Amino acid sequence: MSPADRALDEALDAALAAWLSRQAAAEERLTSFAFREGQPAIELPAPTSQAAIRAWIVATAADPEVAAFLRLVEGDGRPMAALVADGVLGLEAGDRVALAARVGVLAAAGLVGRDLEGDRVLLTELGEAALGVASAGDDGATSTPTVAGAGR
């Protein structure tokens, strides 16, 4: 493994550990909130499936349509209205509900975030790291896939 690939892997592992920590904290809050009269508190063990989750996240980021979408929202992100108009992710232009569903799945995977006040989709630290590892796994290919419908 080259030093550059090792650095990409380390960045992904650090971003994934931070994301899993936030997920565990959120699950802890949810389980403590749940009403369980007379029931014991739910004990949450530390996550042990980091390798499986890592593989799933990298595979998701490696999908050509998803990779193109992640590149599209790098930096300052993109307004949902522009993404809807462009028909990204292979969706029909103008279908905001379908796009919101796809963005929600990518957000659940930790790859993107959605700024509801600014109505923007942004690449997360985990998304950036996963995209880097997935792109490096393309046997060094430097071509960037295009987003279906972008520029229409």
pLDDT digits over 103-120, tens only? Answer: 999 999 999 999 999 999
pLDDT digits over 12-32, tens only? Answer: 888 888 888 888 888 887 777
What integer pLDDT is reported at residue 140 of this predicted model?
A: 36
pLDDT digits over 46-83, tens only? Answer: 767 788 889 999 999 999 999 999 999 999 999 999 99
Structure tokens, 46: 């530390």
Q: Which of 40-44, 92-96, 130-134 has the lowest mean pLDDT?
A: 40-44
Q: What is the mean pLDDT of residues 113-138?
A: 92
pTM over 0.85: no
